Structure 1
Amino acid sequence: MNESADKQNHAPNRAVTILDGGMGRLLQRLGAPFRLPEWSALALIEGPEYVSRAHQSFADSGAEIITTNTFGLVPHMLGEARFHSLALTLADLAGRLARAVADGAAARRPASVVRVAGSLPPLFKSYQPEKFIASRAPEILAPLVRGLAPHIDFWLIETQSSTAEALTDLAFIRQTNKLPIYVSYTLKDEAGRIGPPELRSGEPVGEAVAATLAAGADAVLFNCSQPEVMSEAVIAARRVIDASSKPAAGLGVYANAFLPEPPTDDPYAGITGIRSDLDPENYLKWVRRWVTQGATIVGGCCGIGPEHIAAISKARQTF
């Protein structure tokens, strides 16, 4: 770690907001109904009380943003027929469950504010930007946006592999909804990778951030990638944000705790194991680095649980 370089990219006195962690693996740990390809969506259908428990675990651990359990509410995970019959109902349920936990936290601790992020996932396949079909995006987005909108504080268009999909989603939301919009990109993170940070589409991070801000995003984040590739992305993004007309835009990171996965047309063959070197103490070291480099929103993605968020929350005053 080059600490002098980190310090050069640090702007002091930036407030840091704590995001929650990964929902899917936490639901599995809690004993929720869980199988592939439905992933976390199955709990909404068969055991929504587990979703509430997962949200509560993150809120109790210090998360100031909890994310709706809507990552699996897409046709390639639910199936086309079930998506068209249930997507609106399930999105509404996911929003209500998260809202109830956020409101309950505020009632118990009036000084604490927990916001709800409405998750809009990759509409087709994760990590495969070439699968995006712009003409189909509105029919998939419509029930998710309609179901979530009454319950959330802002939108989180997450795990995006290209600006093509992310900015299509952003434009769709802007047609009917005025809530803030955060966009989170997933990065190339194959083992041994060298070179400037890129989205999985191959787009340079700096160019993607500039385009995303120009399209009206209120924050840009990076998620669902290895922690080792996040720092260069944060530095590149901070440089663009500071030089833009939106220097107050948020900049966030929430990394994975599992080993890199190559793109595949059968991504649901199994569940990848968790890295042993990303326990809460070690993950916190990465979080400290990202904050030093300019991140203002930190949390975790796949495999990062409430214990990681608790460690971040406990250490926040030392950032």
Structure 2
Amino acid sequence: MSVVETLGARLADRQLVLLDGATGTELERRGVPMDGAAWSAAALVTHPDTIRSVHQDYIRAGASIITSNSFSTARHQLEPAGLSAQFRELNHRAVELALEARERTNLDRPIAVAASMSSIHFDRKYMVPVAQAEANFREQAEVLAEANPDLLLLEMMWDLDYSAAAVRAAAATGIPVWVGFTARRDKDGVALFSETYRGSLASALGPVLAEGGSLVSVMHTEARDVAAALEVVKQQWTGPLGAYGHSGQFVMPNWQFNDVISPETYLTQARIWVAAGARLIGGCCGIGPDHIRLLSEQLRLDG
């Protein structure tokens, strides 16, 4: 049984599986400069050892899944930063660093490497039409698959058309695909966290998940809003469910850490998500190894 099959069996048996926390914001917390266009992707060139160390720290904190630093390495994300010529190299390197971290940490338990993909660019001026984005997603998914990750982790699905294109491209590789939606609370309920798509989370789930995915998460969502979004997802999805919130604010290209939630308060929120049925638990932007370590210690004690 492969690593991802082992973890999938645990999820199907309603056991908890711990994902890592943020990669990009944790690099920033450690002094790695973020690029104004490609965000954390430039660190693959300038700070590979720090990336590997972040992965290792999450494994030591108790994570069973670590996420490659490929969130912002699609071609349309690299081009504005002048890095598109290194597209293949950077995507391969992102997965390789996670694989190296797993090998070097050498713990006697299964650790999966999830290759991250995102659906759109943080800065709307760099976005490309959906058809071009889908070609870029397919290219990235194929190149990431060449590096042998255990699964593709689709993150920040927050626009129906781009998200459906990203999931469709990832599913074409034949590698397991897990899909993470980003949501927010508004006066009308729970919506996708998007400036371009004004529909509800509920209206986007069906069309996006029709393209693929074997696990659905609510992620990169304010911790206090995750539970409400999980309830929306559960109305349309009966498979494995995940939750990994964020804390703080993003002012491109830097995360603002001033009001990041404490590990103890994050644990309180995570227990709510577990009670709601989430079995994959981790963290997104602003959430670091200390948060994951406390989740590992306390959620396991909770049983």
Matches within 5 A, 1:7-46: 14-46=14-46
Match of 1:292 in 2: 275
String of CA shifts for 1:203-252, please: whole Å, max 9, x gaps: 3333333334332211111211211211111112123223xxxxxx2211
Q: Residue 186 in 1 paired to residue 182 in 2?
A: yes
Match of 1:275 in 2: 259
String of CA shifts for 1:266-290, please: whole Å, max 9, x gaps: x5265423425x1100000000000
Amino acid at match of 1:288: R
Match of 2:3 in 1: none
Native 8 Å contact 1:235 1:294 kept in 2: no
Give 1:76 deviation, angstroms.
5.7
Match of 2:243 in 1: 253
Give 1:103 deviation, angstroms.
3.5
String of CA shifts for 1:106-161, please: whole Å, max 9, x gaps: xx332x111111111133336x6x95621212442244223311321111111111
Native 8 Å contact 1:73 1:83 kept in 2: no
Native 8 Å contact 1:95 1:147 kept in 2: no
Native 8 Å contact 1:257 1:274 kept in 2: no
Match of 1:245 in 2: none
Could you tell me how far apart the structure 2 residues matched to 1:132 and 1:165 are?
A: 10
Give the secondary-structure state (helix, strand or coil) at the position aligned to 1:225. strand
Cα 1:35/1:207, change in 2 over 3 Å: closer
Match of 1:196 in 2: 189
Match of 1:210 in 2: 206
Native 8 Å contact 2:44 2:51 kept in 1: yes
Give the secondary-structure state (helix, strand or coil) at the position aligned to 2:217. strand
Cα 1:136/1:213, change in 2 over 3 Å: closer
String of CA shifts for 1:149-202, please: whole Å, max 9, x gaps: 132111111111122112211222333x1111111111125xxx3442111323
Match of 2:9 in 1: none
Amino acid at match of 1:103: E
Amino acid at match of 1:275: D
Give the secondary-structure state (helix, strand or coil) at the position aligned to 1:188. strand
Match of 2:167 in 1: 170
Cα 1:118/1:212, change in 2 over 3 Å: same
Unaligned ranges ≥5, structure 2: 1-11
Cα 1:194/1:16, change in 2 over 3 Å: farther
Amino acid at match of 2:42: L
Matches within 5 A, 1:60-139: 60-75=60-75, 77-80=77-80, 82-105=82-105, 108-110=106-108, 112-125=109-122, 131=127, 133-139=129-135
Native 8 Å contact 2:215 2:240 kept in 1: yes
Match of 1:161 in 2: 158
Give 1:33 deviation, angstroms.
4.5
Match of 1:4 in 2: none
Native 8 Å contact 1:121 1:158 kept in 2: yes
Native 8 Å contact 2:72 2:117 kept in 1: no
Match of 2:291 in 1: 308
What percentage of aligned pairs have identical amino acids? 26
Cα 1:63/1:41, change in 2 over 3 Å: same
| Normalised TM-score (structure 2) | 0.85
Cα 1:142/1:14, change in 2 over 3 Å: closer
Give 1:90 deviation, angstroms.
0.2
